[in-house]
């Protein structure tokens, strides 16, 4: 799932009625993979609305931390799952869900533990606080089989550097969703920002 787009918008939906127009703006801007975080009471409704109403979107669920959430998200239509971290219980539930998943890591030991379990695609979180591009660059030598979607503290200024790394498939971020544009339901502006973000593939040099 790291190959859908160079940037995965990390979306917090406060009003379920915003889900479809917001997703349409992101898709029109070239960002089809949309992570809806489970941080609001309407998150599952938003996932369901996008799955049903935006054919071009690949909607997923973020901030997944329990097996129960895994089940509810997949039933709502989530096509991928993202967690900030992982446990054996959560990993088993995500693996059993039948959809792609990105368990969160921030240490070498966590990466090695996932590789032992056959997981090669991971979320690196919180990316900037956990060491940023220098940390990921250091992992590429001893652990080249691991690929990452860094999230946390990433914006248009540093995303190209992340995307230039051989072990980074895409990045996650919120900068294409400024709060004032979301509050104003300025979908045209969000589409424009999404289009600029989708162009970071070329700016980064690599994003497989």
Catalytic residues: 35, 123
DSSP state letter for 111 = H
In this structure, how many other beta carbons lie within 10 angstroms of the beta carbon of residue 107? Answer: 11
Q: Tell me the C-alpha distance between 52 and 117, whole Å.
A: 33
- Give the CA distances from residue 117 to residues 1, 95, 110, 125, 133, in Å, rounded to whole numbers and listed in that order: 18, 10, 11, 19, 25
Burial class, 153, CB count within 10 angstroms (exposed 0-12 / middle 13-18 / buried 19+): middle
Q: Tell me the C-alpha distance between 79 and 75, whole Å.
A: 10
**198 Cα distance to chain centroid:** 14
């Amino acid at each position: 799932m790291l190959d859908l787009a160079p940037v995965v918008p990390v979306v917090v939906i406060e009003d379920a009625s915003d889900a479809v127009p917001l997703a349409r703006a992101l898709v029109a801007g070239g960002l089809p993979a949309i992570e809806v975080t489970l941080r609001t009471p309407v998150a599952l409704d938003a996932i369901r609305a996008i799955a049903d109403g935006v054919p071009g979107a690949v909607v997923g669920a973020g901030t997944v931390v329990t097996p129960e959430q895994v089940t509810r998200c997949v039933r709502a239509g989530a096509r991928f799952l993202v967690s900030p971290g992982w446990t054996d219980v959560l990993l088993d539930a995500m693996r059993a869900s039948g959809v792609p998943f990105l368990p969160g890591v921030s240490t070498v030991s966590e990466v090695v533990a996932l590789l032992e379990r056959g997981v090669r695609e991971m979320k690196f979180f919180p990316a900037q606080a956990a060491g940023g591009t220098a940390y990921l660059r250091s992992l590429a030598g001893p652990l080249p089989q691991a690929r990452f979607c860094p999230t946390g503290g990433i914006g248009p200024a540093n995303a190209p550097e992340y995307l230039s790394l051989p072990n980074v498939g895409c990045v996650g971020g919120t900068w294409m969703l400024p709060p004032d544009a979301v509050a104003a339901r300025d979908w045209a502006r969000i589409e424009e920002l999404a289009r600029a973000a989708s162009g970071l593939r070329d700016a980064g040099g690599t994003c497989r």
